[in-house]
């Protein structure tokens, strides 16, 4: 028997039986009990749950980081920048969702009036009051503030 498989009392270590038949001993003894199986089953499910929670948190952290990257922020931040004339010049204003309008969302209005309206780009990338044609620089700025753009 090798030293790694022996104990101070000369008995086999956990999961090992002592053999004196010249094989060297140390052959693992199968240990399976209903209680042990149940504990492993419960621990496995809980471990899987913990891992899925960690993965979900990491995905949300990555999305949050993208939105709050340098020179970025939230739609509310973009609205404040436009009001202080710190946003792109082709954005007239940024409006927040209206509670009285179902499906309403943040939207950025273009300065140029088309057919009596100021076209806008909704936060999800859809059009509002006509098709806006923002510059690529403006679209990049909007993406940094949470807009989904082409």
Mean pLDDT, to the nearest integer, of 99-103?
A: 91
The pLDDT assigned to 19 comes to: 60
Tokens 């693992």 belong to residue = 28
Same domain, 133 and 79: yes
Tell me the H-state helices in 8-129. 34-67, 75-83
Confidence of residue 1 (pLDDT cuts 50, 70, 90): very low
Q: Please give the share of the chain, as a percent, with pLDDT higher than 70.
A: 73
Tokens 């006509």 belong to residue = 130
| Contact between 132 and 101 (Cβ < 8 Å) | no
Look at the pTM and tell me if it is higher than 0.75: no
- 72 vs 118, residue with greater confidence: 118
Question: Per residue in 16-47, pLDDT tens?
Answer: 555 666 655 555 556 667 887 888 888 888 88
Same domain, 139 and 84: yes
DSSP secondary structure, 82-104, as one string: HHTT-S-TTEEEEEPPPTTSTT-
- DSSP 8-state secondary structure symbol assigned to residue 33: -
CA Rg value for the chain: 32
Same domain, 80 and 136: yes
Same domain, 22 and 44: no
Same domain, 16 and 2: yes
Same domain, 92 and 128: yes
Same domain, 140 and 79: yes
The pLDDT assigned to 68 comes to: 59
Q: How far is CA 39 from CA 35, 78, 133, in A?
A: 6, 52, 61
- DSSP 8-state secondary structure symbol assigned to residue 3: G
What backbone torsions phi and psi does residue 125 show, to the nearest 5 degrees?
95, -5
Same domain, 27 and 39: no
The pLDDT assigned to 13 comes to: 54
Same domain, 11 and 1: yes
Q: Quote the number of domains for the chain.
A: 3
- 5 vs 34, residue with greater confidence: 34
Does residue 97 lie in a domain region? yes
Does residue 127 lie in a domain region? yes
Does residue 150 lie in a domain region? no
What whole-number distance in Å separates Cα of residue 148 and Cα of residue 123? 6
Mean pLDDT, to the nearest integer, of 51-55?
A: 91
| Contact between 137 and 123 (Cβ < 8 Å) | no
Please list, in sequence order, all residues whose beta carbon lies within 8 angstroms of the beta carbon of residue 129, skipping any fewer than 6 positions away.
109, 117, 118, 119, 120
Identify the domain containing residue 92 by its residue range. 75-144
């Amino acid at each position: 028997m090798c030293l790694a498989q022996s104990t101070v009392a000369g008995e086999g270590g956990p999961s090992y039986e002592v053999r004196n038949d010249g094989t060297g001993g140390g052959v693992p003894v199968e240990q399976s009990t209903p209680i042990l199986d149940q504990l492993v089953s419960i621990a496995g499910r809980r471990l899987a749950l913990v891992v899925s929670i960690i993965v979900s948190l990491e995905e949300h952290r990555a999305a949050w980081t993208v939105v709050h990257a340098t020179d970025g922020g939230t739609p509310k931040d973009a609205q404040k920048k436009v009001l202080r004339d710190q946003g792109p010049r082709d954005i007239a204003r940024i409006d927040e969702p209206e509670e009285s309008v179902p499906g309403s969302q943040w939207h950025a209005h273009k300065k140029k009036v088309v057919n009596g309206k100021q076209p806008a780009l909704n936060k999800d990338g859809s059009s509002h009051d006509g098709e806006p044609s923002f510059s690529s620089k403006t679209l990049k700025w909007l993406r940094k503030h949470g807009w989904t753009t082409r």
